[in-house]
């Protein structure tokens, strides 16, 4: 059994893919919204008639509320990504859950609803996850991470990771952040073109 399958087996209550027999893929974007990158993502998704899910940092929502509202107004799904982009493995359960709640409050203060959560870095403890799941929030992981944030990986390699692994029901991670901008823009455009016969959908659970 490979490492990915082993990890998924240990955390079966977390969502790694969306079970589907249809030709559909679920694009997700972490760490936004920011005015330097997110508007380009929205424009590109509109051009390809694609929907996606944005796991937003609460502090960025607070700084850019109109941009956050635009994401929702254009029909995309919103997910909680903590308020301060915390690493759950390095944060006490109490502090982590308070940060999750603060992000959720920020989302809801903008008249947006969300019942999905993604831990920054993919890292939260079992205690943290248990509490989040009990609050009727789904923890959304992924089966493909583009690694667009990695400055040592070429934009072509980011796209090839997706092209070689994507299948119906795949959840793909991109980042609408300055760090990932260069690789993400290339890989996203190529993904939308390569899988043009697929439907790109938002996550609804």
DSSP per-residue letters across 154-190:
-HHHHHHHHHHH--TT-EEEEE-STTTHHHHHHHHHH
pLDDT recorded at residue 136? 83
Residue tagged active-site, from 64, 81, 85, 175 = 175
Is 175 an annotated catalytic residue? yes
Instruction: Tell me, yes or no, whether 136 lies in a domain.
Output: yes
Q: For residues 142 and 174, give the distance between their C-alpha atoms in angstroms, rounded to a whole number.
A: 11
pLDDT score of 12: 75
Q: How far is Cα 174 from Cα 150, in angstroms, rounded to an integer?
A: 11
Residue with tokens 């899988």: 195
**Count of domains observed in the chain:** 1
- Could you confirm whether 30 is annotated as catalytic? yes
Does residue 1 register a pLDDT over 90? no
| pLDDT at residue number 11 | 77
Tokens coding 183 = 């690789």
Mean pLDDT within 8-20: 84
User: Is 3 a member of any domain?
Assistant: no
How far apart are alpha carbons 165 and 154 in whole angstroms? 17
Instruction: Examine the pLDDT at 5 and tell me if it is beyond 80.
Output: no
**What was the pLDDT predicted at 102?**
98
Give every CB contact of residue 69 below 8 A, 6+ residues apart in sequence.
Answer: 110, 111, 112
Mean of the pLDDT values across residues 128-137?
94
Mean pLDDT in residue range 86-101: 98
| 117 Cβ contact list (under 8 Å, min separation 6) | 55, 79, 80, 81, 100, 132, 137, 138, 139, 140
pLDDT confidence of 4, banded at 50, 70, 90?
low
Domain membership of residue 186 as a residue range:
23-200
Is residue 62 assigned to a domain? yes
Q: What distances in angstroms separate CA 191 from CA 161, 170, 173, one per listed residue?
A: 10, 12, 12
The Cα 50–Cα 41 span in angstroms is 11
- Is residue 8 included in any domain, yes or no? no
The kind and range of the H/E element at 128 are: helix 126-134
- Whole-number pLDDT of residue 7: 67
Q: Report percent pLDDT > 90 for the chain.
A: 91
- Mean pLDDT across the chain: 95
Of the residues 30, 31, 99, 148, which is catalytic? 30
**Which pLDDT tens digit goes with each residue over 34-74?**
999 999 999 999 999 999 999 999 999 999 999 999 999 99
pTM for this entry: 0.95
Mean pLDDT of the region 141-161: 97
Q: What is the CATH number of the domain that holds 44?
A: 3.20.20.370
Of the candidate ranges 8-17, 39-48, 192-201, the one whose mean pLDDT is the lowest: 8-17
């Amino acid at each position: 059994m490979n490492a990915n399958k082993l990890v998924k087996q240990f955390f079966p209550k977390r969502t790694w893919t969306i079970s589907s027999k249809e030709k559909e893929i679920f694009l997700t974007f972490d760490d936004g919204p920011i005015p330097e990158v997110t508007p380009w993502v929205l424009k590109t998704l509109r051009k390809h008639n694609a929907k996606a899910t944005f796991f937003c940092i609460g502090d960025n929502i607070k700084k850019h509320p109109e941009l956050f509202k635009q994401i929702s107004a254009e029909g995309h799904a919103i997910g909680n990504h903590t308020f301060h982009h915390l690493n759950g493995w390095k944060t006490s359960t109490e502090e982590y859950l308070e940060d999750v709640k603060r992000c959720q409050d920020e989302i809801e203060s903008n008249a947006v609803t969300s019942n999905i959560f993604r831990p920054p870095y993919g890292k939260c403890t079992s205690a943290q996850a248990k509490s989040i799941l009990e609050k009727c929030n789904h923890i959304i992981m992924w089966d493909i991470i583009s690694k667009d944030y990695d400055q040592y990986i070429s934009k072509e390699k980011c796209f090839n990771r997706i092209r070689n692994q994507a299948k119906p029901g795949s959840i793909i991670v991109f980042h609408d952040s300055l760090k990932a901008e260069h690789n993400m823009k290339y890989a996203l455009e190529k993904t939308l073109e390569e899988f043009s016969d697929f439907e790109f959908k938002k996550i609804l659970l």
